[in-house]
Structure 1
């Protein structure tokens, strides 16, 4: 029995010796993860400090509205650093209570908002507000991403640091190069909106279709409904508008409640169909070819169905296709889609509505 036990032990030892090379597979996985982490933190450092550097590079152009102050660029420096200082002072007191996901989302929105605000500004005060947004983005992002390095190998700190240095070089160089190439400061700043978008790049597959869907449907609702007026019906103009709104909301309710019986993976198709709705109804406003209001009723009900389906399926797809550790951030980041689409439609629907009213 002892011999058998010994042979079993020796057999087990030999098995261990034969299978000793197996840890190489985890080693390969570890090497792959190392480079993913390295590239990821380098890009985070780049994106985080990019707007901060660009605002300093654009200081002279930002203050060009002011003619009496000597065009002193230190005002931009203060606006670009004081909010970061406040964030770093307050961060140890309670920032840990706010999850990482909304912090990253706020940082990305502030970075994009800084470029837009400064690009379209016509006063120094507004421009400096844009610079403050860049500072908030940079400060909040730095505190957040440096805290995240605690959950990764120590080497990522070096890559993060290198990325922030790369932001300094690439930010200043890109602003110099684009303005030297003939772009105005406004065009240059707007062209840099892609950098904050890198923070959400992996989610654009979900975000963009939902933005497009909501842009198209609210463009229809608030820009075209009042112009889709039929005189050959007993309904007054106000009653027609109320019916349009009710049918739209009925479609939204039905499709948002339909996930158990109808699931759609490719929400881009819904975005395309909603855009076709917009083009079709815009053409009817222009040419007036639909003979009956009941056809418009059907189209508007269909519009609501598309909008509700896009909403529920987008978040359902995120729940299915993202990992547990990324799901919270993905949900929080994608929440901006409907609001962004509605806001853009409001900006464009108002002038178009007035233009079409003048034509009629």
Structure 2
């Protein structure tokens, strides 16, 4: 616990006060610390995105759920859709699942927009505590909700938890070796797969959505335990070997006047410096915005409309399978950094936009004969999205100077949230338009 205490003393100090340097650990201790930090960031990524993913997986149930008469605490896992537009071939809910997406992303957008302006003044530990509490509250509120409005309030809590956590933990990577970014990304991908798969599996097994959500309350506790008990004291950045060689071969986004500066000096950056750094990040921010706009327009604007009647799966079950396969693709690609690194992420943006156009045409014309073809496309969609995320933040970490890295990581994470928010705003009118077609 000594290392953990040292970590808190340094990270809680928003003024950047230095503590006395600790003796250089032995090689075995150093390797042990590397593995603890790697596992810590993997678990933080898993737990941070878990509630966000579960709420999207439950979106169809949240909007179409019914209370069984005489038992207001039970929710039918596959309710009969009484509020659907029966005149439409799409079997629509009266409200698009994009409404859940917006409740799950707009609070995150606000947090990420404000974060570069002053969130660094708030110590890390209170941020993590708020994130964990909001995550637990989201599961409880949605589970015991008796109305769509109350459920959406629970979704908002999940969004606050995920958004605050992502800004916090991505900034925190600036105090650790760059390898932890890969572990964090893999963990967020694991959250997508485990969250969607657990919700699908438990509801398929007959458990009600309410009890499924309550069974996930251990995830926020694991988030707090990973941060407070697993991470070790961060050490001065000393990248070497392969990372040093790769960094030297790259053109930095920002030419640093003081290459020896420590990452935690970024809290002293002026507004002009922050703007300069942000402009240098646009090469990566714009493609990531496009990637997430396209994939979440598909996920929350088209998934519900890609309904196949010639299959044994109900509409709700098809939606859950779409979410699970998408998250499986995200997990694989977010864990692939050691095998495949992509410099030009704009290629991924173009491919994802083509996916959107293709599936939008299919929704309009219904030319795909089998749901299994849609399954493959959705898996591919997840692979593109996960690859864009992990390669974007890896490239930013390599090409940003130490003194700017903490701010750059926090600023760049606005990309996915902005793309998702725009997609949700456009998916709502599209849903209404298509559902009113006969």
Distance 1:288 1:257, change over 3 A: same
Map Cα deviations across residues 277-311 of structure 1 (whole Å, 9 max, x no partner). Answer: 99999999999999999999999999999999999
In structure 2, the residue corresponding to 1:15 is in which secondary structure? Answer: coil
Instruction: Measure, in 2, the Cα distance between the counterparts of 1:74 and 1:301.
Output: 20
Map Cα deviations across residues 246-266 of structure 1 (whole Å, 9 max, x no partner). Answer: 999999999999999999999
Distance 1:122 1:215, change over 3 A: farther
Q: Which runs of 5+ in 1 are unaligned?
A: none
Instruction: Measure, in 2, the Cα distance between the counterparts of 1:269 and 1:31.
Output: 37
Q: Which residue of 2 aligns with 1:54?
A: 54
Instruction: Measure, in 1, the Cα distance between the counterparts of 2:13 and 2:292.
Output: 64
The answer as to whether partners of 2:14 and 2:123 remain within 8 angstroms in 1 is no
Distance 1:269 1:108, change over 3 A: farther
Distance 1:47 1:205, change over 3 A: farther
The alpha carbon displacement at 1:98 in A equals 1.1
Q: Which residue of 2 aligns with 1:146?
A: 170
Instruction: Measure, in 1, the Cα distance between the counterparts of 2:221 and 2:162.
Output: 14
Distance 1:325 1:42, change over 3 A: farther
The alpha carbon displacement at 1:14 in A equals 46
Distance 1:216 1:144, change over 3 A: closer
Instruction: Measure, in 1, the Cα distance between the counterparts of 2:297 and 2:8.
Output: 76
The answer as to whether partners of 1:105 and 1:333 remain within 8 angstroms in 2 is no
Instruction: Measure, in 2, the Cα distance between the counterparts of 1:161 and 1:316.
Output: 10
- The structure in which a higher percent of residues are helix is 1
Higher relative contact order (CA 8 A, sep 6+): 2
The answer as to whether partners of 1:220 and 1:278 remain within 8 angstroms in 2 is yes
Superposition pairs of residues 276-355 of structure 1, within 5 angstroms = none
Runs of 4+ in 1 over 4 A off after TM superposition: 1-25, 65-72, 202-360
Map Cα deviations across residues 161-217 of structure 1 (whole Å, 9 max, x no partner). Answer: 1000000000000000111111000000000001011123x9999999999999999
Instruction: Measure, in 2, the Cα distance between the counterparts of 1:136 and 1:220.
Output: 23
Q: Which runs of 5+ in 2 are unaligned?
A: 73-96, 225-279
Distance 1:359 1:164, change over 3 A: closer
The answer as to whether partners of 2:333 and 2:386 remain within 8 angstroms in 1 is yes
Distance 1:29 1:286, change over 3 A: same
Count of residue pairs brought into register by the alignment: 359
Distance 1:26 1:52, change over 3 A: same
The alpha carbon displacement at 1:349 in A equals 46
The alpha carbon displacement at 1:231 in A equals 72
Instruction: Measure, in 2, the Cα distance between the counterparts of 1:146 and 1:270.
Output: 22
The answer as to whether partners of 2:196 and 2:320 remain within 8 angstroms in 1 is no
The answer as to whether partners of 2:105 and 2:420 remain within 8 angstroms in 1 is no
Match of 1:271 among 346, 349, 371: 349
Instruction: Measure, in 1, the Cα distance between the counterparts of 2:302 and 2:352.
Output: 14
Distance 1:68 1:219, change over 3 A: closer
The answer as to whether partners of 2:57 and 2:323 remain within 8 angstroms in 1 is no
The answer as to whether partners of 2:185 and 2:334 remain within 8 angstroms in 1 is no
In structure 2, the residue corresponding to 1:298 is in which secondary structure? Answer: helix
Map Cα deviations across residues 76-123 of structure 1 (whole Å, 9 max, x no partner). Answer: 011111111111000011111111111000000000000000000011
The 10-residue stretch of structure 1 (31-40 or 222-231) with the greater mean CA deviation from structure 2: 222-231
Q: CA RMSD in A?
A: 19.7
Map Cα deviations across residues 303-342 of structure 1 (whole Å, 9 max, x no partner). Answer: 9999999999999999999999999999999999999999
In structure 2, the residue corresponding to 1:359 is in which secondary structure? Answer: coil
The answer as to whether partners of 1:63 and 1:71 remain within 8 angstroms in 2 is no
Distance 1:332 1:236, change over 3 A: same
Please say which structure displays the higher CA radius of gyration: 1
Map Cα deviations across residues 27-70 of structure 1 (whole Å, 9 max, x no partner). Answer: 11111111000000000000000000000000011112589999
Distance 1:198 1:356, change over 3 A: farther
Instruction: Measure, in 2, the Cα distance between the counterparts of 1:71 and 1:235.
Output: 27
Instruction: Measure, in 1, the Cα distance between the counterparts of 2:46 and 2:54.
Output: 12
Distance 1:355 1:320, change over 3 A: same
